[in-house]
């Protein structure tokens, strides 16, 4: 399955998943991973780590998820490394989902959108993660900018951190949950989209269960696979019929196989095969 490079993000993601499998490995230059690879916790170490991961993974997976914070902690040199990661990954035919979890209002939200979704920006990515907890409407500048540039947005909906349920399961005046409001907003944004909408939800693989309707006609970015405990069986149980739209993301289990390029690629292939069979 192929699609035009200027097609909407959702259509490009569906085509990429069909061609390369659903797995979305993370690239997180965490201090402990740098140490495990025998690298210094510096901008240079970050670059060697991240570009090795790109060399191993970007040519073979459908999407990749750099975590911006682990680059930002090295200042401007770290952000320059992130720019290289984004560019090299996209040149390899891999979609980049930049994990930034930005959330604000008005002109500030628009500035975030311009930074990460406008193709003239050096940080331009295929999609970003975003926080909707200033109200789903606060994401409008990001969603509108993404739509204009055939990019995507993944909004946090059901995360697996222990504090999440108290907030995300809270009820609004009309009886729906906060998470349900986020999912409903995404469903509306994807209305009429063919193949797959461009606006997705972040739903943890270790949430246990949910009564929410996860079929939003858009992608479901699912962290927590592998080292964090999430399994293919968990994903099958949680997502039901919506499992066809799951983008499983694994970071520590795959990156822990490094620094060998071959070992990294083999770890990704094993996880990809497991989820390709499921989906």
Q: What is the pLDDT along the chain (279 residues), one digit of tens a residue?
A: 456 778 999 999 999 999 999 999 999 999 999 999 999 999 999 999 999 999 999 999 999 999 999 999 999 999 999 999 999 999 999 999 999 999 999 999 999 999 999 999 999 999 999 999 999 999 999 999 999 999 999 999 999 899 999 999 999 999 999 999 999 999 999 999 988 999 999 999 989 889 999 999 999 999 988 767 788 888 989 999 999 999 999 999 999 999 999 999 999 999 999 888 877
Q: Measure the CA–CA gap between 243 and 16, rounded to whole angstroms.
A: 16
Bridge partners of 248, per DSSP, are 222
**Nearest CA-CA partner of 29 in 75, 66, 56:** 66
pLDDT at 3: 66
CATH number at residue 40: 3.20.20.70
Residue written as token pair 């989906």: 279
Phi/psi of residue 161, each to 5°?
-70, 150
Q: Which residues are catalytic?
A: 101
Q: Which two tokens stand for residue 232?
A: 């293919």
Q: Is residue 66 part of a domain?
A: yes
Q: Is residue 129 part of a domain?
A: yes
Phi/psi of residue 162, each to 5°?
-60, -25
DSSP alpha helices (H): ranges in the chain? Answer: 9-20, 31-36, 43-57, 68-72, 75-91, 106-117, 140-148, 164-168, 178-189, 232-239, 252-255, 261-278
Kindly state the helix (H) or strand (E) to which residue 152 belongs, with its residue range: strand 152-158
Q: Is residue 4 part of a domain?
A: no
pLDDT at 127: 98
Q: Is residue 2 part of a domain?
A: no
Q: Is residue 150 part of a domain?
A: yes
pLDDT at 4: 75
Sheet holding 95-102, edge to edge: 26-27, 63-66, 95-102, 127-130, 152-158, 199-203, 220-222, 246-248
User: Terminus-to-terminus CA distance in the chain, angstroms?
Assistant: 16
- Output the pTM of the full model: 0.96
**Nearest CA-CA partner of 133 in 185, 189, 65:** 185
Q: For the stretch 255-265, what's the b/e string if a residue is b when 16 or more beta carbons lie within 10 angstroms of its beta carbon? A: bbbbbeeeebb
Q: Is residue 78 part of a domain?
A: yes
pLDDT at 1: 46
How many folded domains does the chain comprise?
Answer: 1
pLDDT at 6: 85
Q: Is residue 3 part of a domain?
A: no
Q: Is residue 268 part of a domain?
A: yes
Domain span including residue 273: 9-277
């Amino acid at each position: 399955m192929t699609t035009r490079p200027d097609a909407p993000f959702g259509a490009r993601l569906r085509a990429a998943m069909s061609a390369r499998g659903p797995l979305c490995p993370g690239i997180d230059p965490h201090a402990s991973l740098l140490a495990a690879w025998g690298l210094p916790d510096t901008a240079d170490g970050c670059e060697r780590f991240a570009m090795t991961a790109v060399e191993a993974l970007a040519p073979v997976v459908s999407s990749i998820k750099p975590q911006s914070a682990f680059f930002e902690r090295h200042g401007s040199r770290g952000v320059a490394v992130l720019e290289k990661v984004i560019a090299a990954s996209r040149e390899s035919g891999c979609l980049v989902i930049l994990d930034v979890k930005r959330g604000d209002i008005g002109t500030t939200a628009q500035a975030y959108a311009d930074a990460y979704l406008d193709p003239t920006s050096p940080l331009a990515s295929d999609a970003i993660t975003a926080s909707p907890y200033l109200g789903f409407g606060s994401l409008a500048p990001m969603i509108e900018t993404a739509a204009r540039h055939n990019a995507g947005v993944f909004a946090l909906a059901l995360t697996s951190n222990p504090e999440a349920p108290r907030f995300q399961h809270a009820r609004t005046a009309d009886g729906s949950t906060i998470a349900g409001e986020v999912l409903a907003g995404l469903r509306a944004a994807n209305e009429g989209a063919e193949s797959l909408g461009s606006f997705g939800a972040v739903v943890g693989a270790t949430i246990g269960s949910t009564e929410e309707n996860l079929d939003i006609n858009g992608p479901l970015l699912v962290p927590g696979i592998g080292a964090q405990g999430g399994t293919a069986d968990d994903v099958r149980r949680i997502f039901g019929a919506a499992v066809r739209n799951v983008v499983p993301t694994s970071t520590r289990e795959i990156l822990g196989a490094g620094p060998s390029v071959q070992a990294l690629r083999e770890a990704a292939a094993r996880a990809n095969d497991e989820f390709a069979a499921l989906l």
